[in-house]
Amino acid sequence: MAENKLLVPDREAGIIGYGAYIPRYRLPVKEVARVWADGKGGLPIHEKAVTGLDEDVITMSIEAARNALARSGIDPTEIGAVWVGSESHPYAVKPTSTVVAEAIGATPHVLAADWEFACKAGTEAIQASIGFVGSGMADYALAIGMDTAQGRPGDALEYTAGAGGAAFIIGPAKDAVCVFEGSYSYATDTPDFWRRANAIYPEHGERFTGEPAYFSHTQTAAESLLEALGATASDFRFAVFHQPNTKFPMRVAKSLGFGQDQIEAGLLVPEIGNTYAGSAMIGLTSILDIADPGDRILMVSYGSGAGSDAFSLRATEALPRRRGSAPATLIYVKRRTEIDYATYARLRGKLVLK
Amino acid sequence: METSQHWRLRKQRYALVGEVCPHCESKIFPPRDICPDCGEDAREMYQFSGRGEVYSHTTVYQAPSGHAENVPYPVAIVRLEEGPLVTAQLTDVGDQPIEIGTPVEMVTRKLGADGERGMLVYGYKFRPALVER
């Protein structure tokens, strides 16, 4: 292994508040198989979350951010940066982050920007927030990972491309519900998945998405972080990985030595689908809903193209006191209205009306 | 509507920011700078909680231009817990029955787009309260 670059800021940082959002509509993926595969073939997940007609990354980010703010107890004007990571920003040019910042009352004395890196745009924003807070440039930064993912009708991605995500307010460790013990980033030029400018649907490298892409990056990032911290899988009560389907995170967890009991709480993909930039982050919110003070948590994201960010967190005494200030992630998971493929096609704008 | 109008209304539209009367404590929405209760000057900003209940409701099947893609959709007059009545769309109703008195909460949603190339417009709607209160 090359030189280990553990990321640790001068000032210890942590999560001050966290919030999730999942839209209410659910498409059972057997509906995709019914329309496109005669009902045949294996199903990678049970069902996926679908946005309503009036939802997009901006509206979903606003709700997750409001939940994070409620748990943080801080005034929104104290936030120094609003950063939104996504691959489905509603505008090609015009920031998501300014609308979110305005809606939550964080404007105008604030840094706002959108981040992109396929499915790890959100954890990039977390890394930057740790640096921003850890250097003392700001006391609080809001990092959001949110997506309403695209998939060509009938393509393998349509079975899993869901919607949702999470928001975290990063701040000094003394106020945190969990602290960052250290983080790690690992990136290479690996063309496993992409969407060209102006293309509606992404392309992917079929089987190339597995071994050289997802597994190599998540595993290396996680192993490097654990090695630098002198930790092993058994030191953690929970672990959460990017979840493009159910199989990938379970396999990488197993090869790192994590058991099913450690990953179950954060494994939301069977019920909400792959939420892309929100995937590992919303899994973390579900873990924070049940973790006890002192529990250690490993989060590993993955973004195509390709890279992984790995984080080691430790829950504090403040966590149980603050989690009740916003809806638990499972409330959003259980709030569901089942839809068929026709309604899904309408909600996702796949019907030509003019 | 012009871009400038959307911009001017963004605070009240995104987050239900109204006014409070410094003379009689009345909460005012939409903001109008004059208290409708006592007629005095009222310019102090007030952040509404977003909680309220359905005062009256109906369903729109013949939508005005710009909203045709969303029919049928429910519209309600909502009594905010601070007092004012607000007309807005309901959203995320699913299969929950809507009745007079149903508890609702404000969410910021897409109200529409200014044509194919124009700006996206966001603002308040109300949905059935996520958590019982």
Q: What is the pLDDT of residues A231-251, one digit of tens each?
A: 999 999 999 999 999 999 999
Active site residue: A31, A55, A87, A124, which one? A87
Nearest to A337 among B14, B95, B119 (CB): B95
Q: What is the pLDDT of residues B1-15, one digit of tens each?
A: 689 999 999 999 999
DSSP string computed for A44-80: SSSEEEE--TT--HHHHHHHHHHHHHHHH---GGGEE
Q: Is the dihedral of CA A173, A307, A81, B14 positive or negative?
A: negative
Topology of A178-320 in CATH?
Peroxisomal Thiolase; Chain A, domain 1 (3.40.47)
Q: What is the pLDDT of residues B105-132, one digit of tens each?
A: 999 999 998 888 899 999 999 999 998 7
Is domain A13-177+327-347 classified as CATH 3.40.47.10? yes
Give the residue carrying structure tokens 């090695």: A227
Average pLDDT value for chain A: 96
Closest residue in chain A to residue B112, using alpha carbons only: A54
- Whether the per-residue pLDDT at B133 is higher than 70: the answer is no
DSSP helix/strand/coil, A30 = helix
Which B positions 83-102 lie with beta carbon below 8 A of chain A? Answer: 89, 91-92, 94-95
Q: What is the pLDDT of residues A297-330, one digit of tens each?
A: 999 999 999 999 999 999 999 999 999 999 999 9
- pLDDT value of position A352: 87
**% of chain B surpassing 70 pLDDT:** 98
A13-28: average pLDDT? 98
How far is C-alpha A146 from the geometric centre of its chain's CA atoms? 7
- pLDDT value of position B115: 82
Give the residue carrying structure tokens 């996520």: B130
Q: How confident is the model at residue B66 (pLDDT cuts 50, 70, 90)?
A: confident
Into which CATH architecture does domain B3-128 fall? Beta Barrel (2.40)
Closest residue in chain B to residue A327, using alpha carbons only: B131
Q: Which residues of A touch B70 (CB under 8 A)?
A: 53-54
- Whether the per-residue pLDDT at A140 is higher than 90: the answer is yes
- Per CATH, A13-177+327-347 and A178-320 having the same topology is answered yes
Nearest to B109 among A55, A337, A353 (CB): A55
Do B104 and B76 form a contact (C-beta atoms < 8 A)?
A: yes
- Whether the per-residue pLDDT at A2 is higher than 60: the answer is no
Active site residue: A119, A204, A217, A271, which one? A119
How far is C-alpha A84 from the geometric centre of its chain's CA atoms? 11
Count the residues in chain B: 133
**For chain A, what are the domain ranges?**
13-177+327-347, 178-320
- Whether the per-residue pLDDT at B72 is higher than 80: the answer is yes
**For chain B, what are the domain ranges?**
3-128
Is A87 catalytic? The answer is yes
- pLDDT value of position A292: 98
